[in-house]
Chains A and B, each alone.
Chain A
C-alpha cells in the first residue's frame, strides 16, 4: 500500500531562515506526490505536485520540493521563511491520478519573529 511519512509533527524556524519539511514515501510503483498547506480554519491549498516530469518541482509562495528516488523522499523547502508561512503542511501520495489521496500526519510550521 502506498503511504507517506512526515518526519516531525512540529517544526519551528525563525523568520528569514530556511524551511525544510520532510516527507518520505512508500511505494512499489512511481508515485504521484503532492504538498498541500492548510491555514487555520481553512481548507487545503495545493503547493506543488510531482508527476515525474522533473525531479525539482517549484510551487507557489516560493516553495519547492525535490523528488529523490534513491532516498524515497520528497522534502519541501523554502529559502527564507515568512510569518505568513505559519500553517499545517501535508504531504500526500496518489496512485495513477488523484482519485485516492493518502495524506501524511502533517507538520505544523511555526515562524518565530
Chain B
C-alpha cells in the first residue's frame, strides 16, 4: 500500500482564520514533506521532516507552521494567510534518511488540499 491521505480535500478560509491541514501515511516512512503547488506550476518544497524532526524549512513564512506529532502524521497549521497563498498543498512521504544515501528512496504523494484564501 503506497497511500498518503490528506484532509480536507478543499478548504476556504478568511485572512484572519486559523485552520490546519492533515496528512497521514501508514507505510512506515520516516520522512514527510509539504509542497505548495500554484496553478500550472510544479510543486515547490516547503518543509521536510525526518524522524519527526524538522530537517528542512525552505524559508517559508511563519504564517505556515508545520507539526509532526508522530511518525504517521503531519500537520500544517495556517494562520493569517494571504490570498496569494491560495494553492494546492501536497503532502508526500518516503522511507527517509536510511534510504537517502541509496538511490532508492521515492516520494509518494497524497491527493492534496485545495486551499482558497479570501
Contacts and interface: CB of A to CB of B under 8 A. Distances in A.
Q: Do A and B bind each other?
A: yes
Interface of A: 32, 34, 36, 41-46, 49, 51-52, 90, 96-101, 103-106
B51 interface: no
A106 B100 contact: no
Contacts of B90: 43-44
Contact of A101 (B4, B40, B45, B55): B45
B31 A99 contact: yes
Nearest to B104: A51
B110 interface: yes
A106 B39 CA distance: 11
B105 A98 contact: yes
A42 B101 contact: no
Which of B42, B101, B104, B106 has most A Cβ within 10 Å? B42
A49 B106 contact: yes
A99 B111 CA distance: 20
Given A103-B42, A105-B41, A34 B48 contact: no
Band of interface residues on B: 20 to 34
* Nearest 6 pairs of A and B residues by beta carbon: A97-B100, A103-B42, A51-B103, A43-B109, A98-B105, A44-B109
Contacts of B94: 98
Nearest to B110: A43
A101 B107 contact: yes
Contacts of A96: 100-101, 103
A101 B40 CA distance: 18
B56 A97 contact: no
Contacts of A105: 41-42
Given A97-B99, A97-B101, A34 B106 contact: yes
Given A32-B103, A99-B31, A99-B105, 6 more contacts: A51-B104, A97-B100, A97-B105, A100-B56, A101-B45, A101-B107
